[in-house]
Structure 1
Amino acid sequence: MPAPASRLAGLQKQVWSGSIPLDIRLATADCRSYDDSDPYLVQLPRLSYLPFVLARLHAFFKDSLIHPDVAPNEAWLSFEGVPLKWHYPVGLLYDLFSGAEPIKLDVLPEDAPPDSGSPSSPLPWRLIVHFSDYPGDQLIQLDAEGRALLDSYINTVKEADFIRNGTARTVMSLSKDDSDNLWRAVQIHDLRLFNTVNNKLLNPPGLELRHVPVKVYLPTSATHSASDTIAEDAQPSGHIRVVQALVPLFLATRQPQTLGTALNGILPTIFPSRRNPLLAQPVLHGAVVPMSANMEELGKAAAYADGFLHIAVVMLG
């Protein structure tokens, strides 16, 4: 039985209210003083992107920089030596690299704020901002106008639209105002404005939704232990393997697709059971998602702003 619209709207509102406190320090190699500079503290929405704060970081640390004339778009952020991909949403980066224990939804107090976590949660998340030695072998260079980030976002939205409908006609036919409003909603984190456009993508006239856009992120431990992954050459520190597959809304039996059936189909070695997470947990927005969760409902209410369910795999034991 489909969930009522009010329930899906409530879940989406909770997803959009999730945020992560960041403690950002200037890299020693870029600091002109012997002592560490003061940290830049900021609370970023989980659905936001790190490049949105680069100009503020540059202004904050400018007086401490060895080369203060460096452009803000030359900056990059790292965690424990791992360059963070700027086109990944902040919440996904946190789930992949912070080491935080994901929240168990079945024990979460009612109305607990997103990312309230446990007392051992590594919050605020401490990152390092660098203004030199850009890791061009791992990150694409940002531009001063922000076009690279916008293009990356729009391309992902188009990809999600094509997966849902078998065509990107819906997103390609958006008016310029709708396209501008979609990006503006992400920049200012405005759910109401976002839904004025996103609802058109989820309810395309004359088309029936076919698949749920999903990307599954495997840590190195999962990549090396799963027989259904392909052996790779040595990868840089923090390497994450991304797995995609078409996930229909319904099984061949016409039963609704669940997260458990989807993961069992995509990664049967890591998720041998459709009902229970025996070897690994699927984490979305900082929480362990029940294997029984309906994929169509997740796609409508719990997707990131680019239209994808970005699911981090956390190995057990």
Structure 2
Amino acid sequence: MPAPSSRLADLQRKIWNGSIPLEVRLAASDCRTYDESEPYLVQPPRLSYLAFLLPQLHAFFKPSLIDPQVQPHEAWLSFEGVPLKWHYPFGLLYDLFSGAEPVDFDKQRNEDPATSQATVETASGTTPLPWRLTAHFTEYPGDQLIQLDADGRALLDSYINAVKEADFIRNGNARTVMSLSKGDSDNLWRAVQTYDLNLFNSVNSKLLNPPGMELRHVPLKIYLPTSASQTASETITEEAKQAGHIRVVQSLVPLHLPSRQPQTLGTALNSILPSIFPSRRNPLLAQPVLHGVVVPLGAHLNDLGRTASYLDGFLHVAVVMLG
């Protein structure tokens, strides 16, 4: 049964308000002082992108840089030596690399109140907050990251291409996004830059409700760490075993099953990754994580796609192995 629209709107607002505190330190190789510089503390939204932080980081660390002439777009961020892909949403990066235990509300309901409250208070998991990242301004890892540019075109192009891909998956073509007026297209990107929910919804609602059309599929990307790929009995190359390797799995996922029953996250994962999700109802070997929370396998994909997608229109689901 579809969730009421008011409940879905409330869920979207909660997801939109999600954020993660960061502590960013300057890489020693870029610091002109013997002692490390002061850290930059910030709490960006989960749905946004780390690339938007680069101008502030550059301004903050400029007095400490060996080369103060370096430009903001030349910066990059890493976690424990792993370069972080700037075109991935920030919350997805945290779910993939921080090692924090995702929040499991079903598990909390089965705990006694005292234990449950302790779980809520430590919902950030095993990794203490703030999440500690390192800012670099030299030695750009061009073999792992696409270079940004001073005008921000690379970030804009990456985002727009993802939005077009999501629209193509939903409808079988990209006519809906391509038919947006210039004003709507500009407002969509402005909403992402300024993080404006009302402005975002004014455009996104047109993508989710194309006139005279019924959505066919849900844009879904599944992120498998090396351990999950090994569980799937796949051959892992030496290159794939490098730190931070994540395999991305995509498949066309209809909104309804052949029986016309609603597609759930469990039925979709069982179809795409049966060795990791052998059950459609219970997470036996792994859990699907979205926005830092374990998603019930019975959740309807249509509801998730309309309320829990990232700003590019995709459900970016991280797989966390159990045991």
- Normalized against structure 2, the TM-score is what? 0.94
2:100 pairs with 1:94: no
1:46-85 → structure 2 map (5 Å cutoff): 46-85=46-85
Judged with a 3 Å threshold, the aligned counterparts in structure 2 of structure 1 residues 115 and 94 are, in CA distance, closer, same or farther, namely: farther
1:19–1:115 Cα contact (<8 Å) kept: no
- Which structure 1 residue ranges, 4+ long, deviate > 6 Å from structure 2? none
Give the distance between the partners of 2:294 and 2:225, measured in 1 at CA. 16
Cross-structure match for 2:195 = 189
Please list every run of 5 or more consecutive structure 2 residues that lacks an aligned counterpart in the other structure. Answer: none
When residues 197 and 116 of structure 1 are mapped into structure 2, their CA distance, relative to the original with a 3 A threshold, is farther
How is 1:202-241 mapped onto 2 (pairs within 5 angstroms)? 202-227=208-233, 229=234, 231-235=236-240, 236-241=242-247
| Aligned-pair CA distance for 1:115 | 9.7
Separation (CA, whole Å) in 1 of partners of 2:272 and 2:125 = 34
Distance 1:87 1:267 in 2: 25
Q: Do the aligned partners of 1:250 and 1:256 also contact (CA within 8 Å) in 2? A: yes
Contact 1:73–1:142 (8 Å) recurs in 2 = yes
SS of residue paired to 2:20: strand
2:260 aligned residue: 254
Change (3 A) 1:170 1:238: same
Alpha-carbon separation, structure 2, partners of 1:117 and 1:199: 32
Check 1:42–1:115 CA distance in 2 against 1; reply closer, same or farther (3 A cut): farther
Q: CA deviation at 1:237?
A: 1.6
Residue aligning to 2:123: 117
SS at match of 2:43: strand
Q: Distance in 2 between matches of 1:226 and 1:276?
A: 17
Q: Which structure 1 segments of 5+ residues have no match? A: none
User: RMSD of aligned C-alpha atoms?
Assistant: 1.8
Q: Which deviates more from structure 2 when the two are superposed, residues 61-70 or residues 234-243? A: 234-243
Tell me the equivalent position of 2:36: 36
Measured against aligned partners, the alpha-carbon deviations of 1:242-297 in whole angstroms (never above 9, x if no partner) come to: 00001111111111111100000010000000001100000000000001000000
Alignment partner of 1:268 is 2:274: yes
Q: Is the 8 A contact 1:283 1:289 kept in 2?
A: yes
* Separation (CA, whole Å) in 2 of partners of 1:243 and 1:119: 26
Residues in 1 aligned to 2:121 and 2:41: alpha-carbon distance in whole angstroms:
17
CA distance in 1 between partners of 2:261 and 2:57 (Å): 49
CA contact (8 A) 2:101 2:125 kept: no
Residues 158-201 of structure 1, C-alpha deviations (whole Å, 9 max, x = no match): 00000001110000000111111111111111111100000000
Give the superposition deviation at 1:4. Answer: 1.2
SS in 1 for 2:282: coil
**2-structure distance, mates of 1:100, 1:65:** 31
**Structure 1 residue 231: deviation in Å?**
4.0
Query: Which residue is 1:25 aligned to?
Result: 25
- Match of residue 155 from structure 1: 161
Cα pair 2:281 2:298 within 8 Å, conserved: yes
| AA at the equivalent of 1:23 | E
CA shift, 1:207, in A, is 1.1
Instruction: Return the alpha-carbon distance in structure 2 between the equivalents of residues 44 and 189 of structure 1.
Output: 10
- Aligned position for 2:135: 129
Amino acid at match of 1:276: N
Q: In structure 2, what residue type is equivalent to 1:173?
A: S
2:184 is the counterpart of 1:178: yes
Equivalents in 1 of 2:312, 2:93: separation in Å? 15
